Structure 1
Amino acid sequence: MESTEYVDLTGRRALVTGGARGLGAAIARRLARSGAAVRVADVRWQEAEELCDALKEEGRDVRFLELDIREPAAVAAAFTELDDAGQPLDILVNNAAVDISKPIEHLTADEVTHVVTTNLLGPMYLCLETYRRMVARGGGHIVNILSTASRRTWTEAAPYAAGKAGLRAFTHTLFQEAQRDCLGVGVTGIIAGGMETPFILERFPDADTTKLQDPAVVADTVLYALSVPQTSAVGELTIVPRNEPSWP
């Protein structure tokens, strides 16, 4: 899918978590092709390096950052490294997420911890490091990728829905605090419906792809959020396939 050019991001620095593949890779491509210098953060180093190499061949400024967002010390160290290099972030996209599709009676404590730490605590750790720096600098934008599960859940999705609902609440609070603390800082939650990505297809190989959207459409929604001038604010956007089964 061809991108719609919403905004020129030349000179701005972005970090995308879970950026190695799927929606994260689509977002990284859109940001890089709009001129941003992009850090692709992931634990999948091989896929991330391949994405970075492909974008570098286009002349884009893209680098891989190996980062496990579940580790607050690792997140803090990554931001210290950016500070030391004189490369503060202008844009953070919290996209990384996992799911374990099981009935609640069969879930283990470790599985619940893995999902909730990745989908809720990890993005919160990144927001903590990013937000205070953006306020101090007087500007920036945080985009948190949510899910229809943050509004309406279904069976075998308890930890995932709990994490995304929590992240939605956190995002709304952060939006309100940015309105108070620094009007130059934007905070947007994007509720995304089903996408034709490994996140869905690896778990549900027989999924009806006619009911899934191209992740590039959601990536364009991120660009739209970044395009809004400081005189306006986009707190939340919803982008779902026309026949999304889990919405509203």
Structure 2
Amino acid sequence: MTQQGSVAEADFSNRVVLVTGAGSGLGAAVCNRLASEGATLIAADLNCKRAEDTAARIVLANGRCHSLELDVTDAAAAASAIQHIVREHSRLDVVINNAAIDVTEAIDTLSIDDWDRVLATNLRGPYIVSRYAIPHMKAAGGGHIVNIASTASKRAWPNAAAYHASKWGLLGLSHSMHAELRPFGIKVSAIVAGGMRTPFLLERFPDIDEATLQDPANVAEVIRFVLMQPCETAIPEVMVLPMRETSWP
């Protein structure tokens, strides 16, 4: 990770990657894709069973993956998890902040508790996990943090005020981290993803037209591409849209 120059970082075999929200959807797809490249995955999720299922599928396919129960809003738990990963694997090369929730509700009926819960998971969570990972990356001379944003960080639609606030905030946090951490060899990338065929949307909106969504594996492939860039090149932000995206022109 610390080598300078134009050599692509294509070898994942020595990389240890933490993915939050890895129990389903994009998180699981990212774990599958990077494990297929030889990386060691830490599949973290609030739902321990889902994290275990992701890890079991990857191990069954001869990949390397360990499950981890993690509430990204719990600072003490995040600190302990990062310490455990570094202790067990002697390194942490990549953090993918993917865990997110949403509450579809009008702003004047959205409860304050739900507002706090969405912001805590989607914005405070990535900050907390990154906060405890960064010292280890600095000590190693480099690393990569990937923050999963959304088209909700670029425009707005009704009944999603907390989600928009969290994703606009996450995009700002990501760019500020990019500016601050570059001198330490740490890359920070925001993935602005359009709608995906994942439980995040399909379970809440059963009538949604799936043809307007994209396979999360396609977004996982873009994340792999971002992680493969040469040491001298960083991608601070990339947008990945379905061809029939309805929430973006």
TM-score interval, normalised by the smaller of the two chains = over 0.9
Residue 240 of structure 1: aligned partner: 241
Contact 1:13 1:87 in 2 (8 A): no
Cα distance, 1:57 vs. partner?
1.3
* Letter in structure 1 aligned against 2:68: L
Q: Which amino acid aligns with 2:106?
A: P
Unaligned 5+ residue runs, structure 2? 1-8
Q: What's 1:198 paired with?
A: 199
Tell me the distance in 1 between the aligned counterparts of 2:123 and 2:237. Answer: 17
**Aligned CA distance change for structure 1 residues 208 and 136 (closer, same or farther; 3 Å):** same
Residue 143 of structure 1 aligns to a residue whose secondary structure is strand
Deviation sequence 1:153-203 (CA, Å, 0-9, x none): 110110001000001000000001122x22x21110000000000000011
Q: Which residue of 2 aligns with 1:171?
A: 174
The equivalent residue for 2:218 is 217
State whether structure 2 residue 71 is matched by structure 1 residue 68: yes
Residue 86 of structure 1 deviates from its aligned partner by 4.5
What is the letter of the counterpart of residue 223 of structure 1?
A: R
Match of 2:6 in 1: none
What is the SS of the residue equivalent to 2:148? strand
Q: Select between 124-133 and 155-164 the one with higher mean Cα deviation.
A: 124-133
Deviation (angstroms), 1:7: 3.2
- Which of structure 1's runs of 4+ aligned residues deviate more than 4 A? none
User: Secondary structure of the residue that 1:68 maps to in structure 2?
Assistant: coil
State the Cα deviation string for residues 11-50 of structure 1 (Å, max 9, x = none): 1100000001001000010111111000000011222212
Q: Does 1:112 align with 2:115?
A: yes
What whole-Å deviation, never above 9, does each CA across 1:53-97 have from its counterpart, x for those lacking one? 111111111010100001011101111222333432101000000
Normalised TM-score (structure 2):
0.94
Q: What is the identity percentage for the equivalent residue pairs of Structure 1 and Structure 2?
A: 42
Paired amino acid for 1:93: I
Aligned to 2:228: 227
Report the secondary structure of 2:42's partner residue. Answer: strand
Q: Is the 8 A contact 2:86 2:92 kept in 1?
A: no
What's the secondary structure of 2:137's corresponding residue? helix
Worse-superposed segment, 39-48 or 19-28: 39-48
Query: Partners in 1 of 2:157 and 2:94 — Cα distance?
Result: 32
Counting matched residue pairs gives 241
**1:132, distance to aligned residue in structure 2 (A):** 2.3
Q: Give the aligned CA root-mean-square deviation in angstroms.
A: 1.2
